[in-house]
Chains A and B, each alone.
Chain A
Amino acid sequence: MIDEKFDAIVVGAGMAGNAAAYTLAKRGLKVLQLERGEYSGSKNVQGAILYADMLEKIVPDFREDAPLERHLIEQRFWMMGDTSHVGLHYRSDEFNEEKPNRYTIIRAQFDKWFSSKVREAGALVVCETTVTELVQDAYGKVIGVKTDRGGGQIHADVVVLAEGVSGLLGTRAGLRKIPKPTDVALAVKEMHFLPQEVIEERFNIKGNEGAVIEAAGTISKGMTGMGFIYTNRECISLGIGCLVSDFQKGGESPYTLLEKFKKHPSVAPLIEGSEVKEYAAHLIPEGGYKAIPQLFGDGWVVVGDAAQLNNAIHREGSNLAMTSGRIAAEAIFQVKSRKDPMTAANLSLYKKMLEESFVMKDLKKYKDMPQLLHVQSQNFFLTYPQLVNKAMQNFVRVDGTPKKEKEKLTMKSFTSARSWAGLFGDAFKLARAWR
């Protein structure tokens, strides 16, 4: 198929792959990017929120032509009870700024745009081509790839594995292990279409303003999980995800959880009358710092979801993907500029640079959170949300019960569901993991 040798082959055209291919091509390297989808984005699924700062570092003027849906001016956290929610809303007019900080995007459209930038930068982008194998020399150094298009091997000095959360190549080649069920969440999502003005009315927004709802609580039936509702221009992305290990134990199926979330009395009015145009599912890396695999080796680096780079606490994935792709590309460029070979020792620069960035610093900060939330899922995702909702109900309902008695009842409901020791223990563990 392709006889020439490349400076770099990028496998995958998601956020990490596009960031890497773009940065490499911009630096003048000869880049081949291979994508199994019909186009960049056709296999990619995300909520999706785009963080401007990380994209600005790659494509500074992206706002000129990138397909952006709405800039976010309001964030809502909902702690869900069965028929209620307790919410924390943050809305600020300061988010109506000249260069907004966060946008909702639709990945299939956004990725197509990003891919056009990669091509403009000079990379050769080949879609509808699945990479089937990494080619390694006798010493295990990665020297290229094989694809399902035949034509033998395609060679490069370095292969950037941006193959996504369940990437086959790296695991098959023994470069990293397949993620454990406790380290990945399965999220299902639907696209609900509604007239623009209906969305704006229901979410109290106007123009290009957008709002985001993140929901946790009884909706996940005691599993470690979250729901989300994001406003796009003419549709709402609505989904829910839980750890694969929780789904594996049986109980609710992902689509049943989704249907129940949609029928929740706090959610149903927001999507009433909508037309669903797509149902998607995707894995999300949740293992955090401790689940990060070996990031580089002789002739290869791994970036984005494939490297499990996702901040589950802050729901940030695509910016870590983009940033790791960019940093890997910059490291490769530096090695190349020095005319050094793409050995593990030289490519360790990528990890070093990543450790100096927010990517590794943030993941390190929350290194104990995944384990805590997983082991304590019944408490954090079922018992506490129920108790807090009950407490609020008790607080706001006026029924002639003296307030002092009401407070006693609330305290009692907490201590009987979870002993004082349990409550303090959880608070302490949470604070420590957050620190």
Chain B
Amino acid sequence: MASTEPAVRVEDKLFQNRYLVDAGRAHIKVRSHTEPTPALKALLTACPARCYELNDKGQVEITADGCVECGTCRIIGEPSGDIEWNYPRGGYGVLFKFG
């Protein structure tokens, strides 16, 4: 049953949200790597905004524009140094209308 369902389109969900993107100042950075660690691989499915994707070389990349600032990736990836997590600058990032 589950396998026949189409994949969920997270971008459609994020489209409903309000953001003020701080262009050129991503608040999350992935440590450069050749082979992704288990923590980085986990972020591919654990991130609720699907900000983490594999590139052509099999490395984990982040596009933080749709980030909902939940902090899940920080919990998983910061202790090992796989990612660096900061708040967006004041006023930037996701702006919840309802929250």
Using known A-B contacts A42-B95, A130-B87, A168-B86, determine if residue A250 contacts B45 with beta carbons closer than 8 Å: yes
Residue pair A43, B76 in contact (C-beta under 8 Å): no
Q: Which B residues from 1 to 45 make CB contacts under 8 A with A? A: 2, 5, 8, 10, 13-14, 16-17, 20, 39, 42, 45
Asked if A323 CB lies within 8 Å of chain B CBs, one says no
Hey, which chain B residues are within 8 Å of A247, CB to CB? 42, 45-46, 72
Partner of A190, one of B13, B39, B76, B79: B13
Partner of A254, one of B42, B46, B90: B46
CB A236 to nearest CB in B, in angstroms, measures: 11
Using known A-B contacts A148-B90, A179-B75, A244-B75, determine if residue A45 contacts B96 with beta carbons closer than 8 Å: yes
Once bound together, how far apart are the Cα atoms of A2 and B93, in whole Å?
25
Q: Which A residues from 33 to 63 make CB contacts under 8 A with B? A: 36-38, 41-46, 48
Residue pair B42, A186 in contact (C-beta under 8 Å): no
Using known A-B contacts A36-B90, A178-B78, A244-B76, determine if residue A111 contacts B99 with beta carbons closer than 8 Å: yes
Once bound together, how far apart are the Cα atoms of A128 and B90, in whole Å?
4
Once bound together, how far apart are the Cα atoms of A287 and B86, in whole Å?
24
Residue of B nearest to A251 (CB): B45
Residue pair A178, B99 in contact (C-beta under 8 Å): no
Once bound together, how far apart are the Cα atoms of A251 and B42, in whole Å?
9
Residue of A nearest to B20 (CB): A38
Q: Mark B54-96, 1 if CB is under 8 A from A, else 0.
A: 0000000000000011111011101100000111111101111
Q: At the interface with chain B, which of A114-122, A273-281, A385-393?
A: A273-281
Asked if A127 CB lies within 8 Å of chain B CBs, one says yes
Hey, which chain A residues are within 8 Å of B68, CB to CB? 279-282
Hey, which chain B residues are within 8 Å of A254, CB to CB? 46, 48
Once bound together, how far apart are the Cα atoms of A249 and B46, in whole Å?
9
**A contact set with B: CB distance below 8 Å:** 36-38, 41-46, 48, 106-109, 111, 127-130, 147-149, 165-166, 168, 178-181, 184, 186, 188, 190-191, 235, 244, 247-256, 258-260, 276-283
Q: A37-B91, A247-B72 are in contact. List 8 more A-B contacts (CB 8 A).
A: A168-B85, A168-B86, A181-B76, A248-B46, A253-B46, A255-B8, A277-B16, A279-B68
Some 15 contacts from A to B, beta carbons below 8 A apart, are A36-B91, A37-B91, A43-B94, A44-B99, A106-B98, A107-B98, A147-B90, A180-B75, A186-B72, A248-B42, A250-B45, A253-B46, A277-B98, A278-B16, A283-B72
